Each structure stands twice: as structure tokens, then as C-alpha cells.
Amino acid sequence: MQTTIKSPISFSGNGLHSGRPATLTIRPAMAEHGIWFSRTDVMVGDRLIPARWDAVNRSPLCTRLENASGLSVSTVEHLMAALAGCGVHNALIEIDGPEVPILDGSSAPFVRAIVQRGLRKLDAPVRIFEVAKTVTVSEGEASATLAPADTLRIDFEIDFADAAIGRQARSLVMNNGSFARVLCDSRTFCRQADVDAMQANGLALGGEPGVNAVVFDGDAVVSPGGLRHADEPVRHKMLDALGDLALAGAPLVGHYTGIRAGHSLTNTLLRKLFATPGAVRMVTCDAATAARLPGYGLIWDEIPAVA
């Protein structure tokens, strides 16, 4: 059965890149509604923005959605990962600014609030996208692949010159609440040189090292408190990938492999998937398949308790 949240949930905070404060409210929605954003600070014109792959205005720093009128909302990936990881199929997300609050830089605040509020089942079957043919995209040393599988699995590999990050790899089958247990509390990360460059150009104004981002400088972790996990960077890349794949428009079943991939490349992959004849098919979910989707089997006590 499709789901929505039982009652509204609100969050407030600064955007990571814009530095602008915003209040975001996730509201229940009817079956077949899907996930949509609504810019409540806009009084004239179309303020609805679909959370869908073909509405992405590709950027290397974050995932930005834009409607036909040019109205946008950015840094949606952590929230989208939380919705997918908690099994939420329908929601209206109202926001009074151009960027989703960064909060602690992970999906954990969204996940804990959604699970605490609870989900309501709707009288409609879940339809999923099954990957039926392998598709791959690449750019330089980065690549992203989707291949057929009977559940959603994410493999990711990163390799940074900074000794504190280095090469990291991880694989995770995204069922039985594994997103909430393993990935949801992993924060966005960057290098000190990148922070300095972005702030000099008026970006990353809402970031606060140690609060909503992990900052690395060579072999040092600059952020107070250190890492939540030894491999927190690759876990966060997997979190981002889930959020970007959630823009398929329905739960996606397949094996995703990312090697040094970012938001833009994952969106390019989705575009190729839907443009390739026979590469993907929509099917109605049976009980066995539903039990293998992210969010199924999620237990409150297994969600990491973070500061």
C-alpha cells in the first residue's frame, strides 16, 4: 500500500549554500500525489515543483529542482533520501525559501521526525520502477551504473587526495531499514580549501563546521567532535545517491554503482535510464517485493541517536 505521513512535520534552519533561513513543512498527501515542493514565499505564478529527475537543473554541489517557470528549490537530496528510506510515497513539502535547511548535514533529523510521527497507509498499490537493462554513464574518472536486481542495492567508491578521506568503498542492500541504521546520520563533507573558495564566492554561507558539515584539511578532521563513522564520507555519498535516485518518481529497484559520482552524474544516469528503450519498466508491487523496499522493517530503536 502507498503511504503518507500521519500529520505535518516542520523544520527550520539555514540553507548550506545560500545561508538563507527557511521553514519547511512536510504535509500528508493523497494516493498517487507523489512528492512535490511548494514555494510558499512566492505569491504569483506556478509555485509547485515536482520532485522528479526531469525537473533537476544539474549542479555538482547539490540537487536543485526547477519548474517550467524557473522557480527552484535546492539541496533536496537529504530530505528525499529520508522520504525514500522511510517508505514515504506521497507528500507535499511547503518551503518559504529557495533551499532546504541543512540541519545537521545528514538525513537523521528528517528520519527521526518521520518515524516518530508515523505513516498512514493509503488505498492504492505501490508501483515501482524495475531496472531491466544495464545503463552506465561516465565523466572523466567518475562513473555511475544501474543494473537489474531484485532489490535496491547501492555500491559506492570514493578516492580523495586528502589523507583523512583517502579511498573508501561500501556496499549496502537498502532494505530492512538499513538506510536508517547505517547511512542516515552521515553528514555532508568538504575540504577546508573548498570552504574557503566557496565562501569567497558567496557560497556555503550557512555551513558551520562540526554542526552541519565535516571539514577535512589534509590528514586532519577540522570539525570539532570528529567523525560519526570512520567511513562517514562514503556513507554520505551513498545517502546522496539514494536521495537522487528517489527522484525517479517511484521506488527504484536495481543495483546502483557509483565511482566518484556526484549529483549531476546520477541525474544523467536517470535520464539515460528513462531514455533507453527497454531499460526500465513500471510494475505493481507484490508483497514480496514490497518487503524488499527501503523503509520496510524500519524500527525506531535502530535509528542512530545523534547530537
Which DSSP string do the residues of 136-195 spell out, in sequence order? EEEETTEEEEEE--SS-EEEEEEE-SSTTT-EEEEEEE--TTHIIIIITTPPPEEEHHHH
In whole angstroms, what is the distance from residue 1 CA to residue 286 CA?
10
- Which cell numbers in the block locate residue 19? 545561508
Predicted pLDDT of residue 218: 81
pLDDT confidence band for 201 (50 / 70 / 90): low
Please give the share of the chain, as a percent, with pLDDT higher than 90: 74
Predicted pLDDT of residue 210: 54
Please give the share of the chain, as a percent, with pLDDT higher than 70: 95
> In 17-107, which residue ranges form alpha helices assigned H by DSSP?
77-85
Where is average pLDDT lowest: 10-19, 70-79, 249-258? 10-19
Is the distance from CB of 76 to CB of 157 less than 8 angstroms?
Answer: no
Question: Model pTM?
Answer: 0.94
The better pLDDT of the pair 25, 190 is held by 25
Predicted pLDDT of residue 199: 67
Where is average pLDDT lowest: 42-56, 212-226, 261-275? 212-226
- Domains of the chain are 3-302 (3.30.1700.10)
**Residues ≥6 apart with Cβ < 8 Å to 38:** 47, 48, 49, 92, 93, 94, 95
Question: Catalytic one among 78, 89, 255, 263?
Answer: 263
Predicted pLDDT of residue 304: 87
Predicted pLDDT of residue 211: 65
The better pLDDT of the pair 211, 232 is held by 232
Q: Report, as an integer, the average pLDDT of 260-279.
A: 97
Predicted pLDDT of residue 139: 96
The overall average pLDDT reported for the chain is 92
Q: Is 263 a catalytic residue?
A: yes
pLDDT confidence band for 208 (50 / 70 / 90): low
Is the distance from CB of 99 to CB of 25 less than 8 angstroms?
Answer: no
| pLDDT higher than 70, residue 109 | yes
Predicted pLDDT of residue 40: 97
Where is average pLDDT lowest: 5-9, 70-74, 180-184, 217-221? 217-221
Predicted pLDDT of residue 186: 95
